[in-house]
Structure 1
Amino acid sequence: MVNIQELDPSASPLDYYGWELRRLREEHGLTQQQLGDIIFCTGSLVGQIETTRKVPTRAFSERVDAALGTGGVFSRLIGLVLRSRLPAWFQPVAELEARATYISTFQTQVVYGLLQTPEYARALLAVDYPDKAEEMMGARLERQRILERGEPPVLWVVMSEAVLMQQVGSREVMREQLAHLLTFRDNPWVQIQVLPFSTGEHTGLMGSFTLFRFDDDPDIFYIDGYDQGHMTANPPVIKERSVGYARLQAMALSTEDSAELIARVMEEHYGDPS
């Protein structure tokens, strides 16, 4: 007799997703293999998602919605599932990103998460989370959907030139990442400036930080830690860091000159070595 794992749909978004997938599949009289054949995957994968051993993707969710005629249930649910896979300490930050109307960030070493390509994100995450890199990468890409909204937040990024020079993944991964940054040149809601090495000492040498602004709530200052982050709405901190960020913007290259530098680094450092 087959041992069917019982899920508690209230335990987590992932458990609810698996429970609902099994319920609707059985309601349609389909086996796991039959559903897999319809949505172009294996029956084993369907079973692993139903029992929470695998985290679904957005593409899987959209295909299931189409196959089972759910009206978009799983396409809506997948956002909650992927957000729940973010580290617990980072989930409040993702919520701030989703609510903010203006995001100002300074990055010293890596491309800001909302602008990372899948391959770049996967290479970064695999360093510390080799077994979870794929699902964490999916969660990171899910965060980026805020930039596709009808009214996206303004995202202003100042990054050190070191971000362009620090190779993450292969040369091809870096080339694709820098090319991706260039796709935002004509996006009015995403502004990218590079702070060149020639600037010398500056107010961002203490590390990366982000300022979130909202329509009806106080501004929030956030700084990353190794396995936790720190955020505050303390007015003196907000004032000091806002001035610091304005100084970084003033010292950085213009958005046009920044794009030219990104394109030059892309060709000179990550182009065809032949």
Structure 2
Amino acid sequence: MVNIRALDPSASPLDYYAYELCRLREAAGLKQPQLGDIIYCSGSLIGMIENTKRVPTRDFSERLDAALGTDGHFSRLVGLVLRSQLPHWFQAYAEMEARATFISTFQCQLVHGLLQTEAYARAVFGVESPDALDASVAARMDRQRVLTRESPPVLWVVLDEAVLLREIGGKKVMRDQLAHLLSLRDRPWLEVQVLPFSAGQHTGMAGSFTMLRFEDDPDIHYSESNDSGHMTANPQVIKERSVGYARLQAEALSPRASAKLIARVMEERYGKQPEPDGRAVA
């Protein structure tokens, strides 16, 4: 059992969440197992979150608010907690991304984070961050909420064809990921294009990058390496990268042709998966 006096709510958003959970649970006269029964989870999970050993999810927080009558307190707080789980060098970008009205991105290695399925994200993070896997995946999924808000940003994504062919997490994970991309094509504010190998050399060969546009603030160019990110509003960089991105869009397949290619790769490369007895199933 956690001792609320041992918690320092000023240490981090997660510590503050744990402190508030412990404080308000005790104020309601509930023990951890009793609260767990109410919100359909184990008392040990409540304990791990109160001890900052587990990161809460948004669903957990919403059920907590309903059980304790806290008027959205934990639902609001969990956003800060999940954002704090992002790499420190990425947090500033995530805040800017959440405020952008137009996001245009070129991705040469992976599906963009805003469009990743949970299984795909889990496979990506599992390579180098297995100890913080659940927290990393939860933070990425929560970041995608920007796409379902009342007024979402325009999102234009150009994917190198290699992204479709690089098998992340296995055939089923890739099939589901490509199916997810296809499921988004009817959204009027979201477009996906594929830059085919036949385009040859192109203006994105230096690597993935993203452009953020805002209503009242200067545009931002963002790029990253393995363990750092770089944002700039330098007008010359913005001009050069804007032209470069326009060229990528012009050289890429149209959104309709891109969807056909994604569907073909999904069926031909990831469509038939063997069962344990060796038989192929669709």
TM-score range, shorter chain: over 0.9
| Aligned partner of residue 123 in structure 1, secondary structure | helix
- Residues 121-270 of structure 1: pairs in structure 2 closer than 5 A: 121-270=121-270
8 Å contact 2:2–2:50 — kept in the other structure?
no
The 8 Å contact of residues 115 and 144 in structure 2, kept in 1 or not, is answered as: yes
CA distance in 2, matches of 1:102, 1:9: 36
Match for residue 18 of structure 2?
A: 18
Distance in 2, Cα, partners of 1:25 & 1:169: 39
State how far apart, in whole Å, the 2-side matches of 1:96 and 1:4 are: 37
CA apart distance, 1:228: 0.2
1:258 alignment partner, SS class = helix
Secondary structure at the counterpart of residue 89 of structure 2:
coil
In structure 1, stretches of 5+ residues that fail to align are: none
Is the alpha carbon distance of 1:261 and 1:3 closer, same or farther for their aligned partners in structure 2, counting shifts above 3 Å? closer
TM-score normalized by the length of structure 1:
0.98
CA distance in structure 2 between the partners assigned to 1:189 and 1:83 by the alignment: 25
RMSD: 1.0
Aligned equivalent of 2:73: 73
Q: Distance in 2 between matches of 1:189 and 1:142?
A: 19
Please report how far the alpha carbon of residue 210 of structure 1 lies from its aligned counterpart in structure 2 after TM superposition: 0.4
CA–CA separation in structure 1 for the residues paired with 2:2 and 2:157:
52
Map 1:8-87 → 2, pairs under 5 A: 8-87=8-87
TM-score, L = length of structure 2:
0.95
Per-residue CA deviations over 1:37-87 (Å, capped at 9, x if unaligned) read: 111111111011011111111111111111111111111111110000100
Query: Runs of 4 or more off by more than 6 Å in structure 1?
Result: none
Task: State the shift of 1:3 in Å.
Answer: 6.7
1:91 alignment partner, SS class: helix
Q: Which residues of structure 2 form unaligned runs of 5+? A: 274-279
Map of 1:4 onto structure 2: 3
Distance 1:67 1:229 in 2: 40
Q: How many equivalent pairs are there?
A: 273
Q: Residues 158 and 249 of structure 2 are in contact (CA less than 8 Å); yes or no, is this contact kept in structure 1?
A: yes
Percent identity for Structure 1 against Structure 2: 66
The alignment partner of 1:247 has SS state of: helix
User: What amino acid maps onto 1:186 in structure 2?
Assistant: D
